[in-house]
Amino acid sequence: MRTLLRPAIVLFVLLTVLTGLIYPLLVTGIAQVVFPRQANGSLIMKDGQAIGSELIGQPFDDPKYFWGRLSATGPFPYNAAASSGSNLGPTNPALIAEVQGRIDALKAADPTNTQPIPVDLVTSSGSGLDPNISPAAALYQAPRVAMARGLDVAKVQALIAQYTEDRQLGILGEPRVNVLQLNLALDALKPGS
Amino acid sequence: MTVNGILQIVLYFVILIALVKPLGAYMARVYEGQPIRLARLLGPIERLIYRLSGIQPEQEMNWKTYAVAMLIFSAFGLLVLYVIERVQAGLPLNPQNFSSLPPDLAYNTAASFTTNTNWQNYGGETTMSYLTQMMGLTVKNFVSAAVGMAMAIALIRGFARRTAQTIGNFWVDTVRGTLYILMPIALVLALVLVSQGVVQTLDDYKTVPLVQATSYDRPMLDAAGYPLQDASGSPIMETVNVTNQVIAVGPAASQVAIKHLGTNGGGFFNANSAHPLESSTPLTDFLEILAETCIAAALTYTFGKMVKDTRQGWAILTVMVIVLAVGIFGAYAAEVNGNPKLTPLGVDQVSTDLNPGGNMEGKEVRFGIARSAIFATATTATSTGAVDSMHDSFMPLGGLVPLAMMQFSETILGGTGSGLYGMLIFAIIAVFIAGLMVGRTPEYLGKKIEAYEMKMASLIILIMPLIVLFFTALATVTKEGNAGPLNPGPHGFSEILYAFSSMGNNNGSAFAGLTGNTPFYNFTGSLAMLMGRFWLAIPTLAIAGSLARKKIVPVSAGTLPTHTPLFIALLIGVVIIIGVLVFLPALGLGPIVEHLKMIAP
């Protein structure tokens, strides 16, 4: 027993130095040199200032912007310092109420739209920070955004196509639209163009 | 199901199986001490570690010494992590100035990461300093995995050796597993993850402006921190405007890589691999799933190689892959059709190339249904417990799959190491049952299975359900336990059953609506995790020691071959009947009754 004590303690300390200090610092060093943008949160820069992250969604409920997924983070949506899903079970009345609430808000913002609503637009994401919506969810909102901005719907649809990413390597995941980048592109459009 | 969804599942299996032979053969060389190329680079470090720690690498241990070494090493590691968590406020690398953890949470987390469970009653980005994440949690991710692999190798040696007293050197197995297997793969994986957008920095959290400001209401507090109330007794609210977004970052990629490779599963961030900075693209999702399954799958080949009959390893792998595939397709089928309660509201849940469709609550758009189903099944079949979608929001039968996968005692691939030794115990029971049927003394790989082995194996298969069901029952009859669930009705029961299935099997995933950070769940959970790991590990090593001492019985006409389809079918039957059937009544009270209530008109 005594003979096992020293190896146990010294070995644990040495492995702590190796895997808890050298290894993460080595990864940090290489990452900061080779992939500095990704390693620091894939920030979107404008005039030297970070104006958001490509990978982190933001809350939108103005009709002139595309809206993202519902977010269950507290105390406000898209709190990127406290990620969380809703964890509501599939038969929980609170889930149905939340979905209905989003449907009502979408309908109130665009009463003329009678299309079925894509499911990702009325449900909460797992992280509460999902940067994406499906192409269907973006196309569903195109008429509203076009109307609110006085733009041609075709122009908005073209912008959606531009910010749509296909499945990765053609097979992995799902096609998706980056909501923040799409909204930033909308804001950057010259008035009247 | 869509064609693309099925393709994604098939692609995963093809690549996983392609990795088994090269990785498995490499691991056999590492543990058998044969020359490997990496030793030229890392050999001096290995020898330095032995010298400083006073380890004689050539000195082998009997099973009792091996077990005691493992226990002392694990206990000391638990203590160190506990201390780091308790004093993190005073340590460096704490840019967000997080306070130290309270004792019950610190103990639960220390037990959790020591046992390779990685159950988390805390949110990473709101609780843990960078130093705790690195020197506390990342370290445990490595060593708990290396310890699990060491124990599997010890059991393999029990089968491979004849009339031997020893089963290897615990220190050497742990060091070599860490240095030559886990660290190099984790390093490469971490860098690939970063290239895709997983963060790796020691900077403060980032602050960016919101394009559209938002606001929320919160109760006003008086000077003493108590909510102010109006005349009628309801709290007075104030509106808070939010114009900036604070984005949590940190040294995530280095931890995420080993979190998957070592089947640990404890997320850097609260949302785990659903978080876009922890798994940023479908490719990172794919690689994380591959990482958490590849060592467990490849160890079956290591096993075959070390017992000098690779067909035995392939047979074990076939059992694992068949059950895993059934689970993945089952979860996918349950999730892809969506939630019938939403259809009447006018929600479009049909999967197309423009719309992921299905049950998207708690799922990320970039992953969609198929990836989430693969992840949920793989993470619970192995003892990983990471999540890329919230299992609590799965359909009742979709959530049944991860629950059942854990209740297979983590033998369907299982944890790094612990999965293989779990499955080998079931193989021993399978040959015993077959032996009873034909009236012969059972043998496995030429070793007679006798009363001692069967006693130990019976302990192993009985302890886990006892832990899970006892604590679940305890929680459902106590006020403290019933305070946990978020969701009403049978789903609330599923949350409790899931929690103890997860902790008792050292998985770590959760139906996360359960409020686990209470003294009741912190304490009972720690017990379940420690018993689930060490009460199974000790009898396993006892079997290893007993088998090593035995002679090899020559193959005769009466020997049951253990690499044939017949044996594979028998083993699947044993795993299902002995492993999962004991949980059927409990599953009936949770997900099954919830499903029936849901589809009832």
What does the pLDDT read at residue B403?
95
Backbone angles phi, psi at B163, to 5 degrees: 40, 50
Candidate from A69, A81, A136 with C-beta closest to B354: A136
**H-run or E-run covering A94:** helix A93-109
Locate the domains of chain A by residue range: 1-40, 42-188
Most A CBs within 10 A among B181, B355, B493, B511, hence the mutation to make, goes to B355
d(CA B509, CA B499): 8
Q: What is the pLDDT of residues B117-144, one digit of tens each?
A: 999 999 999 999 999 999 999 999 999 9
With CB atoms and an 8 Å threshold, state whether A118 touches B348. Answer: yes
With CB atoms and an 8 Å threshold, state whether A40 touches B364. Answer: no
CB of A19 less than 8 A from some CB of B: yes
Residues of chain A with Cβ-Cβ distance to B251 below 8 Å are 24, 27-28
With CB atoms and an 8 Å threshold, state whether B345 touches A103. Answer: yes
Q: Residue B167: which of B177, B176, B156 has the closest Cα?
A: B156
* Same domain as B78, residue B220: no
Q: Which of A95-99, A136-140, B234-238, B465-469 has the lowest mean pLDDT?
A: B234-238
Do the beta carbons of residue A92 and residue B488 sit within 8 Å? Answer: yes
What does the pLDDT read at residue B223?
80
Can the peptide bond before residue A77 be classed as cis, meaning omega within 30 degrees of 0?
no
Candidate from B55, B354, B361 with C-beta closest to A95: B361
**H-run or E-run covering B461:** helix B451-477
With CB atoms and an 8 Å threshold, state whether A11 touches B174. Answer: yes
d(CA B330, CA B235): 47
pLDDT over threshold 60, residue A193: no
* Same domain as B108, residue B225: no
Residues of chain B with Cβ-Cβ distance to A176 below 8 Å are 365-366
Length, in residues, of chain A: 193
What does the pLDDT read at residue B449?
94
With CB atoms and an 8 Å threshold, state whether B352 touches A136. Answer: yes
Final residue before a domain boundary, out of B299, B316, B334 = B299
In one-letter notation, the amino acid at residue B9 is: I
What does the pLDDT read at residue B130?
96
DSSP B177: I
d(CA B311, CA B277): 41
pLDDT over threshold 90, residue B334: yes
* Same domain as B146, residue B126: yes
With CB atoms and an 8 Å threshold, state whether A6 touches B270. Answer: no
With CB atoms and an 8 Å threshold, state whether A173 touches B246. Answer: no
Closest-approach residue (CA) in chain A for B356: A174
* Same domain as B272, residue B227: no
B172: in domain? yes
What does the pLDDT read at residue B288?
97
Taking the CA of residue B352 and the nearest CA in chain A, the distance in Å comes to: 9
Taking the CA of residue B395 and the nearest CA in chain A, the distance in Å comes to: 6
Q: What contacts B158, CB < 8 A, 6 or more positions away?
A: B63, B167, B447, B543, B544, B545, B546, B547, B548
Overall average pLDDT of the B245-260 stretch: 97
User: How far is residue B601 from each of residues B195, B395, B485, B596, measured CA to CA in Å?
Assistant: 50, 17, 26, 10
d(CA B120, CA B516): 8
* pLDDT tier, B224 (very low <50, low <70, confident <90, very high otherwise): confident
d(CA B227, CA A137): 41
Range of the domain at B100: 25-203+250-299
Backbone angles phi, psi at B229, to 5 degrees: -125, 150
CB of A141 less than 8 A from some CB of B: no
CB of A162 less than 8 A from some CB of B: no
Overall average pLDDT of the B299-322 stretch: 97
Number of domains in chain B: 2
Q: What contacts B495, CB < 8 A, 6 or more positions away?
A: B392, B484, B485, B486, B487, B511, B513, B514
What does the pLDDT read at residue A122?
97
Overall average pLDDT of the B49-64 stretch: 95
Taking the CA of residue B278 and the nearest CA in chain A, the distance in Å comes to: 10
With CB atoms and an 8 Å threshold, state whether B4 touches A167. Answer: yes
* Same domain as B192, residue B51: yes
Strand A132-133 with A164-165, pairing: unpaired
d(CA B134, CA B132): 5
Closest-approach residue (CA) in chain A for B184: A23
- Whether the CA torsion B382, B383, B386, B387 is positive or negative: it is positive
* Same domain as B72, residue B169: yes
* Same domain as B140, residue B116: yes
**H-run or E-run covering A117:** strand A117-118
DSSP B276: T
Taking the CA of residue A187 and the nearest CA in chain B, the distance in Å comes to: 10
With CB atoms and an 8 Å threshold, state whether B247 touches A75. Answer: no
What does the pLDDT read at residue B127?
94
d(CA B152, CA B298): 12
Query: Residue B242's beta-bridge partner residues?
Result: B214
Q: Residue A125: which of A96, A90, A85, A95 has the closest Cα?
A: A85
* Same domain as B224, residue B107: no
- ipTM value, please give it: 0.96
B163: in domain? yes
Candidate from A80, A90, A118 with C-beta closest to B247: A80
B571: in domain? no
* pLDDT tier, A191 (very low <50, low <70, confident <90, very high otherwise): low
Q: Give pTM, 2 decimals.
A: 0.96
Q: What is the dihedral of CA A179, A181, A183, A185, to 10 degrees?
A: -150
With CB atoms and an 8 Å threshold, state whether B210 touches A58. Answer: yes
pLDDT over threshold 90, residue B198: yes
3-class DSSP state for residue A112? coil
Tell me the average pLDDT of chain A.
95
Candidate from B138, B210, B345 with C-beta closest to A20: B138
B575: in domain? no
Place of tokens 């629950």: B403
DSSP E strands: which ranges in B378-426?
none
* Same domain as B161, residue B140: yes
* Same domain as B215, residue B160: no
Candidate from B52, B196, B247 with C-beta closest to A10: B52
pLDDT over threshold 80, residue B148: yes
Closest-approach residue (CA) in chain B for A100: B345
Overall average pLDDT of the B448-452 stretch: 94
B102: in domain? yes
Q: What contacts B41, CB < 8 A, 6 or more positions away?
A: none
Q: What is the pLDDT of residues B339-371, one digit of tens each?
A: 999 999 999 999 999 999 999 999 999 999 999
Taking the CA of residue B330 and the nearest CA in chain A, the distance in Å comes to: 17
Residues of chain A with Cβ-Cβ distance to B142 below 8 Å are 15, 19
Overall average pLDDT of the B67-92 stretch: 96
With CB atoms and an 8 Å threshold, state whether A87 touches B489. Answer: no
pLDDT over threshold 80, residue B15: yes
* Same domain as B151, residue B66: yes
Residues of chain B with Cβ-Cβ distance to A187 below 8 Å are 211
In one-letter notation, the amino acid at residue B418 is: S
CB of A39 less than 8 A from some CB of B: yes
d(CA A19, CA A10): 14
Tell me the average pLDDT of chain B.
94
* Same domain as B239, residue B97: no
DSSP A71: -
* pLDDT tier, B600 (very low <50, low <70, confident <90, very high otherwise): confident
Candidate from B52, B255, B346 with C-beta closest to A103: B346
With CB atoms and an 8 Å threshold, state whether B212 touches A123. Answer: no
Closest-approach residue (CA) in chain A for B7: A171
Overall average pLDDT of the B81-93 stretch: 95
Between CA A125 and CA A179, with CA B125 as vertex, the angle to 5 degrees is 35
What does the pLDDT read at residue B222?
83
Residues of chain B with Cβ-Cβ distance to A16 below 8 Å are 80, 135, 139
With CB atoms and an 8 Å threshold, state whether A119 touches B54. Answer: no
